[in-house]
Amino acid sequence: MLLLQFSTSHYCRKARLALGYKRINYKVENLTPGLHILKLKPLTGLSTLPVLLPQIEGQPQAIADSTQIIKFLESYQPEPAIFLTNPEQQTEALMLEDWLDESIGTATRFVYYQFRANEGQQVDPSFFSQMLIRVVRQQYGINDATVKLATDRLATSLAELSLRWQKSEYLVGGCLSVADITAAALLSPLALIPDYRQGYPWLFERIVQIHQLCGEKLPPGL
């Protein structure tokens, strides 16, 4: 299998965690932001990464979107399972995944690029990196006002995750699920931000444990 990705994208990390948990052999191809559209549009009709190319006869040519990739992996190789066997718990895990994808992953992006453009400039002060940060901020409308809203949304979501992860090792049910993998990936960019590292130590402990379970390299900062 081949995973088309941006090396630093937290949604691509989510797909890698799922592939790693299932111990599936795969290669990655890192696309260049901007030029990625030329490759993706004809393949998927979308412009976002990750995209998985199973490269297996009888399987789809390309699967876009991290949620769809995990669904595909679960049906292609059911064990070890990322979906829960209890239907109610599985519905809850999928709802958490969707909330994390659509709301929290976006809020993390806002807070992360705000940090990288200000106090975190020294993480990579190169011209290319700073230019990319400017483009991303413009593309997603990242500014002081939208970052304030995102920060607030993250605080609410971390309160919810803290209740769940401090009560049990798992967000839903009695084993690792799509909800844990999604949270570990989409909150991982916060590891570089000192306020989050100091305020939420339990979050980063769990992110490390999930990366270890999935055999995935730890995110920057951890």
Q: Name the site residues for ligand GSH (rule: CB under 6 A).
A: 6, 9, 11, 47-50, 65-67, 101
CB-based burial, 27-50: b 16+ in 10 Å, e otherwise:
ebeebeeeebeeebeeebeeebbb
Nearer to ligand GSH, 75 or 166 (CB): 75
Helix 201-214, helix 144-167: angle, nearest 10: 70
- The CB-of-166 to ligand GSH minimum distance in angstroms stands at 27
Contact 23, 190 (CB under 8 A): no
**CA proximity to 165, closest of 212, 216, 200:** 200
**CA proximity to 222, closest of 207, 214, 213:** 207
Nearer to ligand GSH, 48 or 209 (CB): 48
- The CB-of-11 to ligand GSH minimum distance in angstroms stands at 4
Nearer to ligand GSH, 67 or 114 (CB): 67
- The CB-of-41 to ligand GSH minimum distance in angstroms stands at 10
Beta bridge partners, 146, equal none
Compute the Cα dihedral for 121, 124, 130, 134 and give only its sign.
negative
- The CB-of-190 to ligand GSH minimum distance in angstroms stands at 15
Nearer to ligand GSH, 65 or 90 (CB): 65
- The CB-of-140 to ligand GSH minimum distance in angstroms stands at 9
Nearer to ligand GSH, 30 or 48 (CB): 48
Q: In sequence order, what DSSP letters do the residues of 25-66 get, joined into one string?
A: --EEEEPPTTTHHHHHHHHHS---S-EEE---TTS-S-EESH
